[in-house]
Amino acid sequence: AQSVTQLDSQVPVFEEAPVELRCNYSSSVSVYLFWYVQYPNQGLQLLLKYLSGSTLVESINGFEAEFNKSQTSFHLRKPSVHISDTAEYFCAVSGFFGNEKLTFGTGTRLTIIP
Amino acid sequence: NAGVTQTPKFQVLKTGQSMTLQCAQDMNHEYMSWYRQDPGMGLRLIHYSVGAGITDQGEVPNGYNVSRSTTEDFPLRLLSAAPSQTSVYFCASSYGLVGGEQFFGPGTRLTVL
């Protein structure tokens, strides 16, 4: 079995400030890790994912996340946020050998303060 | 491509009524799934399918049925609606089960009175 913990349910940040959204996972097998974003009144969209290779992965809109196996973390960061980044962010994990289904965290609501 | 489509967008039911939430995808994805989203609980998997004719239960399957007669369609049936089923329901599809990006529909907001 696998699980995902997003400790912060809400994160308010001033515009142009940096942000980090925390994600920790637990799994007995190797994992794939994902961040999905949900803009108001929409479905979820994939923001970025780690499958293998470089532990630092980036999205097209300036977000990045680093897979840290020793700390079982996959924190999401952006050096300077914009109003358009206001959304809910979900960390998710899937594994191998019977643990392939995607398991989501409870989400972090990012609010950008002008 | 329309991607993943869901109907209806909103629905209000009375306790005990039944209904079907429709989901269709035009990307020829084998894997489809249904999630419910509740405040503070993230998304929880209800049922999923790895191909036409093959379905399996997820984390919270009670009170829901699914079938997969075609690759494109994956309807979710509420047999006898209960207030605890008030939620936002999302359908998703992907090329594969392992490591693949899931594409989500816009959701159905269901209220059970």
Per-residue pLDDT of chain A (114 residues; tens, 9 = 90+): 789 999 999 999 999 999 999 999 998 778 899 999 999 888 999 999 998 888 899 998 899 999 999 999 999 999 999 999 999 999 999 876 655 788 999 999 999 999
Say if CB B22 and CB B40 are below 8 A apart: no
Q: How many CB atoms lie within 10 A of CB A97?
A: 9
Question: Is B44 within 8 Å of chain A by CB?
Answer: yes
Query: Which residues have CB under 8 Å from A21's CB, separation 6+?
Result: A6, A8, A11, A75, A76, A77, A89, A91, A108, A110
Q: What is the mean pLDDT of residues B15-22?
A: 97
Amino acid identity, position B12: V
The minimum CA-CA distance between B48 and chain A, rounded to whole Å, is 9
**Contact between A106 and B97 using a beta-carbon 8 Å cutoff:** no
- Whether the CB of B5 is below 8 Å from some CB of chain A: the reply is no
Round to whole Å and give the CA distance between B80 and B26.
Answer: 30
Cα nearest neighbour of A90 on chain B: B42
Q: Picking from A36-45, A80-89, B67-76, B80-89, which range would have the lowest pLDDT averaged per residue?
A: A36-45
Nearest by CB to A51, from B35, B42, B99: name it: B99
Any chain B CB within 8 A of the CB of A45? yes
Question: What's the pLDDT band for B49 if we cut at 50, 70, 90?
Answer: very high
pLDDT at position A99, please?
57
3-state secondary structure of B83: helix
- Residue A5 contacts B where some CB pair is shorter than 8 Å: no
Q: Is B54 exposed, middle or buried (0-12, 13-18, 19+ CB in 10 A)?
A: exposed
Burial class (CB in 10 A: 0-12, 13-18, 19+), A73: middle
Q: What is the DSSP string of B28-42?
A: --SEEEEEEEETTTE
